[in-house]
Amino acid sequence: MQRIRLRYTKRGRLRFTSHRDFQRAFERALRRSEVPMAYSAGFTPHPKVSYANAAPTGTGSEAEFLEIALTEARDPGTLCKLLDASMPDGLDVIDAVEARTSGLADRLTASVWEMRLDGVAVQDAEKAVAAFLGAETVEVQRRAKNGIRTFDARAAVVGLEALDPQPDRSGDRPCAILRLVVRHVTPAVRPDDVLSGLRAVADLTPPVPAAVTRLAQGLFDEESGTVTDPLAPDREAAPAVSTADPAAAAAAPEGAGSA
């Protein structure tokens, strides 16, 4: 059995696609692409697809991940193109590697988010960010299945900054971009929780809902403060192909041995 790990996106209007809707679209793409899927046992077999830490409905993402199990070996690059061609525009399959290591979900420990705040001046966003980062705790509330839950939104945040999307233009409607790096903890701290925290500590309330996009997710590197590519270990574990052997090079899957 071969395992393939895929990276996909949710863009444009497709950011409002629920996880269940994506599952249905992806399973249709598997059938259209004639992927030799492995199926579970039992009375209701279903394709072996493992989803990891999907983004909330309504948020865009450039870094969603899943893993599929195949009964026959396929080239990851070719499979990526076939699946992408069978998916709706906005739900794009953009990367694929053969799984050569364990624990993909364990490598998704942090996310980088971008929040576009239309109608908010950059100076106001910077003051709110400074107040948020300067607080020891920022308690926010979220409605859960068992009622209202109160938790700290500050501890999980390892980076937050306000950026100007148009630094060389003036006279346009104010807009600020927040770049957020947050650890995956329990309970999960989401971008809307951080926005609630900014409202609590600095009364920052955008006049329109923020446009939120996940830019990356993976392991958080303590030294550099960055979030690393979770598929990199699988690429690094791929056997190298010697360029001195033309036959071996021609038989190697596309992208094998690349970083």
Same domain, 131 and 60: no
Question: Of the candidates 106, 124, 153, which is a domain's last residue?
Answer: 106
* CB-based burial label for 124 (10 Å; 0-12, 13-18, 19+): middle
pLDDT tens digits for range 114-159: 999 999 999 999 999 999 999 999 999 998 888 889 999 999 999 9
pLDDT bucket at 199, cuts 50 / 70 / 90: very high
Q: Where does 24-109 show beta strands of DSSP type E?
A: 49-52, 60-70, 93-98
Residue 59's closest CA among 4, 116, 122? 116
Alpha-carbon gap, residue 131 to 98, rounded angstroms? 44
- The domain that holds 88 is classified in CATH as 3.30.70.580
User: Are 22 and 80 contained in the same domain?
Assistant: yes
Indicate the number of domains in the chain. Answer: 2
Nearest to 232 by CA among 244, 221, 243, 248: 221
Q: How much is the pTM?
A: 0.87
- Structural domain includes residue 223: yes
Does residue 259 lie in a domain region? no
Residue 178 and residue 92 share a domain: no
Residue with tokens 């306000």: 162
On the question of pLDDT at 85 being above 90, the answer is yes
Q: Return the number of other C-beta atoms located less than 10 Å from residue 101's C-beta.
A: 16
The answer to whether residues 81 and 152 belong to one domain is no
Look at residue 240 and tell me if it is in a domain. no
Could you tell me how far CA 22 lies from the centroid of its own chain?
14
pLDDT class of 168 with cuts at 50, 70, 90: low
Tell me the longest C-alpha to C-alpha distance in the chain: 65
Same domain, 96 and 148: no
219 assigned to some structural domain: yes
Domain match, 220 and 122 both: yes
**Residue that the structure tokens 């303590």 belong to:** 222
- Domain of residue 203 covers 108-227
Question: Length of the chain, please?
Answer: 259
25-53 pLDDT, tens digit each: 999 999 999 999 999 988 888 999 999 99
**Domain for residue 150, yes or no?**
yes
Spatial contact of 52 and 6, defined as CB atoms under 8 Å apart: no
Task: Assess contact for 161 and 178: CB atoms under 8 A.
Answer: yes
Residue 115 resides in a domain:
yes
Say whether both 162 and 189 belong to one domain: yes
Closest residue by Cα to residue 176 from 158, 160, 156, 187: 160
- Return the pLDDT at 167: 66
Residues 130, 44, single domain; the answer is: no
Answer yes or no: is 204 within a domain.
yes
Domain-embedded: residue 233: no
